Amino acid sequence: MSTTPEKLAFRCAGCAGINRVDPARLADGPKCGRCQGALDTSGAPIDLDDAGLARLVASSPVPVLVDLWATWCGPCRIVAPIVDQVARAHAGRLITVKIDTDRHRATLDALGARGIPTFALYRGGALLSQRSGALPRPELEAWVQTALG
């Protein structure tokens, strides 16, 4: 068994750089190695456009969960706190993204999804799995685990 600590990955909100952080250093308030901005290590979902997601997917060392949603979508609002909880529970081991499909449609169209919310999981630069419709936390959690495992 290796004793090397698993490094966590966080996206810098300032420069979009991906930073690897030793879990033991989390409490020190880690800064971005590229722009020196403070890193958000909460794991909270980040709002991106389609191009921003594509760049993240191509460079992220950890799986990326995407929530494709819209402000007028009731099921999206219902599932939003669940997405937030799952995202924070896996801070550093999963990067969670929200895309407002009223403003950014390319990802939704590329997935061929007709409805929202639609969720997509990417790993290693590729789409791993997708699903549409709100879902309870245990189900979202179990689905996310398929990407983390």
Residues lying near Zn ion in the complex (CB under 5 A): 12, 14-15, 17, 32, 34-35, 37
Q: What is the DSSP letter of 28?
A: G
Give 34 or 105: the residue with its C-beta nearer to Zn ion: 34
- What is the CA 113 to chain-centroid distance, rounded? 19
Least Å distance between CB 21 and Zn ion? 13
Least Å distance between CB 19 and Zn ion? 7
Give 31 or 137: the residue with its C-beta nearer to Zn ion: 31
Active site residue 12: no
99 within 8 A of 147, measured Cβ to Cβ: no
Please report which helix (H) or strand (E) contains residue 100, including its range.
strand 95-100
Least Å distance between CB 33 and Zn ion? 8
**CA 87, CA 10: separation in Å to the nearest integer?**
12
Active site residue 73: yes
